[in-house]
Amino acid sequence: RQAQYRRLRHLPAASRDGIEVTLSMNAGMLADMDHLKESGAAGVGLFRTEVLFMVAPSLPRMHAQEQLYRKINEMAGGLPVTYRSLDIGGDKILPYLRNVDEENPAMGWRAIRLGLDRPGLLRTQIRALLIAAGGRELKLMFPMVTTVAEFNAARTLVDRERKFLHQHGYTLPEATKLGVMLETPSLLFELEELLAVADFVSVGTNDLYQFSMAADRSNMRVSGRFDILSQSFVRMLKHIADKCDAANVPVTVCGDVASRPLEALCLVGLGYTHLSMPPAAIGPVKAAIRATDFGRLRARLWPRLEAGRGNDDIRHILSRFVDAN
């Protein structure tokens, strides 16, 4: 199997009927970047910057951060890296930074909320990312955005930093693309407004699922209670894919759902053509995509998503389709 996946490394993730899917990898540490080449990933679709902060003994200062991001960009060679600003809080704790007791940390003071309330922290990170990306493209997205206003506030911080650096003679990135992690259900009801201002979006299904199903992702009693391929969630994912397509805004799925072959087939069936996953998942997902005719898969899947047609669950329909292939 491993050898088979290695042979696929240089082949495209193209389906039998010619749909080309971009497979990127998720990363969080410098060491992860070593997997870029061997996995055949098209780039880093999600760089979880808080992981760098979690393993540091104290809060890294601007210069130290800049060095880290520079190193990551170098290790990426010419391949694109999508950075996510600090997603602290919830299941991601920085022992030296905050010690607030919260009853519901996942729904608490975390991620972009913390960043906007402590702009010094977020601005330092933005500045370091901008300097490190001087002369190349910077792709940066914000986690746990709940309203379009939060994204606009974050973008204002980026604009200010760009202005400051320009005035001080720094080389700015040749382009700065700002995106949003789609992981709170509220944002789905502001999607058109969001797509008018965001350069790209990335669906964080781990959190989107947890908040949609009201099922704590870290509580084993409930985290697997509902199938991620349940009707409501798959319809939600289709709605996002359709809206992004209509608005012509690039969309990636970077949650764990993209790393499992059957689920990945479902995502491509829904219209997603960019998935990001742990490097080890790229081979199996690519093999599954290459073996699939999505015209035929959609003919099975889409009617099922329309109201009231068919009783079989979506996972069952997909696995039957794959087995018959």
> Where do contacts with ligand PEP occur on this chain (CB under 6 A)?
46, 48, 87, 183, 204-207, 254-255
Long-range CB contact pairs, 91-95, < 8 A, 24+: 91/217, 91/218, 92/50, 92/54, 93/54, 94/50, 94/53, 94/54, 94/59
Instruction: Say which entry of Mg ion, ligand PEP, none residue 254 contacts (CB below 5 to 8 A, set by partner kind).
Output: ligand PEP
Query: How big is the chain by its Cα radius of gyration, in Å?
Result: 20
Query: Which two structure tokens, joined as six digits, stand for 110?
Result: 């975390």
Coil, strand or helix at 311:
coil
Residue 44 corresponds to which amino acid?
V
Residue 307 corresponds to which amino acid?
A
Which of 26-34, 40-48, 177-185, 229-237 is the region at the interface with Mg ion (rule: CB under 5 A)? 177-185
The distance of closest approach from Cβ of residue 209 to ligand PEP in the complex, given in angstroms and rounded to an integer, is 8
Number of residues that bind Mg ion (CB under 5 A): 3
The distance of closest approach from Cβ of residue 185 to ligand PEP in the complex, given in angstroms and rounded to an integer, is 13
The distance of closest approach from Cβ of residue 47 to Mg ion in the complex, given in angstroms and rounded to an integer, is 13
Could you please report the per-residue DSSP string of 267-310?
HHHHT--EEEE-HHHHHHHHHHHHT--HHHHHHHHHHHHSTT--
Half-sphere exposure of residue 266, counting CA atoms within 13 Å on the CB side?
28
The distance of closest approach from Cβ of residue 143 to ligand PEP in the complex, given in angstroms and rounded to an integer, is 7
**Structural element, H or E, at residue 201:** strand 200-203
Which of 178-186, 218-226, 237-245, 291-299 is the region at the interface with Mg ion (rule: CB under 5 A)? 178-186
Measured from the CB atom, the residue of 133 and 254 that comes closer to Mg ion is 254
The distance of closest approach from Cβ of residue 202 to ligand PEP in the complex, given in angstroms and rounded to an integer, is 8
Measured from the CB atom, the residue of 32 and 183 that comes closer to ligand PEP is 183
Instruction: Say which entry of ligand PEP, Mg ion, none residue 255 contacts (CB below 5 to 8 A, set by partner kind).
Output: ligand PEP
8 A C-beta contact, residue 290 and residue 11: yes
Contact with Mg ion (CB under 5 A) among 50, 150, 207, 256: 207
Residue 60 within binding range of Mg ion, rule CB under 5 A? no
Query: Which two structure tokens, joined as six digits, stand for 155?
Result: 């973008």
Could you please report the per-residue DSSP string of 34-71?
GHHHHHT-SSEEEEEHHHHHHTSSSPPPHHHHHHHHHH
Residue 204 within binding range of Mg ion, rule CB under 5 A? yes
Measured from the CB atom, the residue of 134 and 278 that comes closer to ligand PEP is 278
Measured from the CB atom, the residue of 32 and 87 that comes closer to ligand PEP is 87
Which of 149-157, 201-209, 268-276, 313-321 is the region at the interface with Mg ion (rule: CB under 5 A)? 201-209
Torsion of CA 257, 261, 264, 269, to 10 degrees: -140
Q: Given the rule CB under 5 A, which residues bind Mg ion?
A: 183, 204, 207
